[in-house]
Amino acid sequence: MLNKVSVDDINVKGQRVLVRCDFNVPLQDGKITDENRLVASLPTIKKLIADGGKVILCSHLGKPKGEAKPELSLAPVAVRLSELLGQDVKFAADPEVVGPNAKAAVLSPALKNPEQLPSIFLEARLAKQSLVIEIRDNGCGITSEQRDKIFEPFVTYKKDGTGLGLALARRIATSHGGTLTVSSVPGTFTVFTLSLPVQ
């Protein structure tokens, strides 16, 4: 019988590690309905991170007839993985699968020292009858207590803030039949999701 090499047998410290994952999870309206495959991948991902590896996760949902479909984006998977791991998972959207965006993310100096490159990511996609826009950062995040109050008028956590921006943004979204929500992991990332009906 051939001896198989596992992640326990290799030294990944300081190395980029490409991990082929089966993240072909069921989605409904941009939400994951069964995350068993994500949970199953966590021990391997956590082991590689703990051993000092710079982990690159490679997966896909599908590209029917060679055409990229927004509803088949893995962006919701990246958000959920960030929550499960307790740290930021950057999503490299690339219609060419292994195109310029993916290559730039893999070769980015941020993989060597993520703290040096604070970033904001913007993604827009169609999810059935809605346009979904996600604005995401890799900053300090916000606490659950802040999330509960962040859309209330005159509530601000900035030194010179007015506390009106997010309150007005949510009111405008609601008036158009849409939603504005936030999710965050303190110390890793925050993502605001704007969903508007497409007419």
191 bridge partner residues = 136, 183
How far, in Å, CA of 85 to CA of 21, rounded?
A: 15
pLDDT number for residue 167:
92
| pLDDT per residue of the chain (199 residues) written in tens, 0 to 9 | 456 667 788 888 888 888 888 888 888 877 888 999 999 999 999 998 898 888 888 887 766 666 666 677 788 888 899 889 888 888 876 666 666 666 666 666 555 554 445 567 777 877 778 888 888 777 778 888 888 899 999 988 887 888 889 999 999 999 999 999 998 877 777 889 899 998 7
Could you tell me the end-to-end alpha-carbon distance of the chain, in angstroms, rounded to an integer? 61
Q: How high is the pLDDT of residue 158? A: 80
Q: What pLDDT is stored for residue 74 in this prediction?
A: 83
**Quick check: helix, strand or coil at residue 180?**
strand
Cβ neighbourhood burial of 7 (10 Å; 0-12, 13-18, 19+): middle
In sequence order, what E strands does 21-119 have?
27-28, 31-32, 54-58
Which two structure tokens, joined as six digits, stand for 152? Answer: 């209330």
CB 25 within 8 A of CB 77: yes
62-98: b (≥16 Cβ within 10 Å) or e: eeeeeeeebeebbbbbbbbbbebbeebbbbbbeeeee
